[in-house]
Structure 1
Amino acid sequence: MAMLNELGGRETLRRQMTELAVRLAKEGRWEDAVRINRAIIENFPNDIEAYNRLGKALLELRRYEEARDAYVKALELDPHNTIAQRNLSRLGLLASELAKEKVPQTPKLPPEMFIEEMGKTGVTTLIHPNRERAVQLSAGDEVVLRPKGRSLIVEGIDGSYLGEIEPRLAQRLVRLMEGGNRYVAAISQVTDAGDVKVFIREVFQHPSQIGKLSFLPEQKGELIRPYVRERLVRQDEVEPILDEEIWEELEGDEWEQARNRLAEAEAVDLEEEEEEDPTPELEEDVP
């Protein structure tokens, strides 16, 4: 008889707690509903409906991971529970939408930034590229140049590593950045072979750096394209094209004069760099 009374008492308690949980849900008191349903589960761990009610309250509070756990537990107790199945499907859709919202939208440089200027812009292929991250970006997506010693690291806006600027150009740009120059950069191209090309533009030249070109006509490993005709560049297809007519116009004396002026500027620049940096230059590899 005592046992029956005890069982009757527990069932009464369960019924009362359930009625309270239902009332709290109807009133939209979700925090209180979470507490009472957890109390029910603590006393009656196999109460499937309590898990469903707990999942509903947590869902309303946008505590999605906890809500999922509650519905999973309900399904463990009853694999055919349609309420738990339906809400787990809903949570799956919510998780997918939330993941899309959390993906940072990489800003693009405005099209006019990709108009090349002699000595102020260049395109270079990264060394040690992070191809898996780079393929998630497209032409025009802004990237960040971060000096690290004499190296120049290229990162995404989210801080992810993308690669490094080749050493000779990196050392030059780092010196100019230390002197006060500022640069912006963006993805130029990610090739099918996995090469990651980056476009770099000088946007501010410090007075102390006047006369120093950021990009020389030739840099080790590739030709830095020094000029293109100003034109409208599509935002979704940023591919600066070398204007060969400009080179054709520079014939004879004009060509030699242009080359001589650049050579003189480079010589003066290198002399100043050697005075600033006593570190001996590394010998270049002989192919």
Structure 2
Amino acid sequence: MARITAGIGSSHVPLMGVAVDQNKSADAYFAPIFEGYDWTRAWLAKDKPDVVILVYNDHASAFDANIIPTFAIGTGERFRSADEGWGPRPVPDVEGHPDLAWHVAQSLILDDFDMTIINEMDVDHGLTVPLSMMFGQPEAWPAKVIPLAVNVVTYPVPSGNRCWLLGEAIRRAVESFPEDLNVQIWGTGGMSHQLQGPRAGLLNREWDNRFMDGLVGDSDANRWIPHIEYLRETGSEGIEMVMWLIMRSALGSETRLLHRHYHIPCSNTAIGHMVLEPVESAPTA
């Protein structure tokens, strides 16, 4: 059967994509950010997944105020890089895995999640920046990708608990797929940041790291963090961190930390990154 072998959490700040595209990742400003991903790139080179379920949010590229799906899954064969106002990023098209994506969609809907099914859409920096941070600049992405978009832009957004339950349902869906596949799930977005208003530039190192602490081990306390706490402590865009909860819960009841990185600032955003594995699938000594 297919199995989820690891989870990755990462910010998806568009400036990181600019640094990759313009070959500036070794510049003094960006080097401390990118060095935190060195471990992960080496690890992925040795243990490449077959498929990545990549949880992200669209930034008015595929969706706008006319259509706002709470949860949407990409079931197509290929997804192009979106033009976010300055041309598409010079990155490979994302190759999907329609068989697994349709299986997951069916399983989630029968598990009482009202998924929006997307056969064709362009994907923006929310999805392509994490791919660049993990895989660099290949001619083709080395894994197939199933985009899973979450609305964290327009309220009401899903609760942390609803996201946690979705992750559990994704795990069940993947494990019921008969093909032998090494699947990873990535939760992207965050960490603390606010892009507008009197609190623009807000960063909260202490809260961010406490949130990351809560993703390791067997605690599920993060699922109960209310929306107002994300807003108060991490800024208006910090709510993106609910997407990390989908990744965490899809790994099962307990996780082990493989790698962790945190850096302030990148643009006006805190950078968070971690690699987790489910304890039950970890090698024993």
TM-score, normalization: structure 2?
0.24
Give TM-score, length-normalised by structure 1. Answer: 0.24
Instruction: Compare the two structures and name the one with the higher helix fraction.
Output: 1
Structure with higher strand content = 2
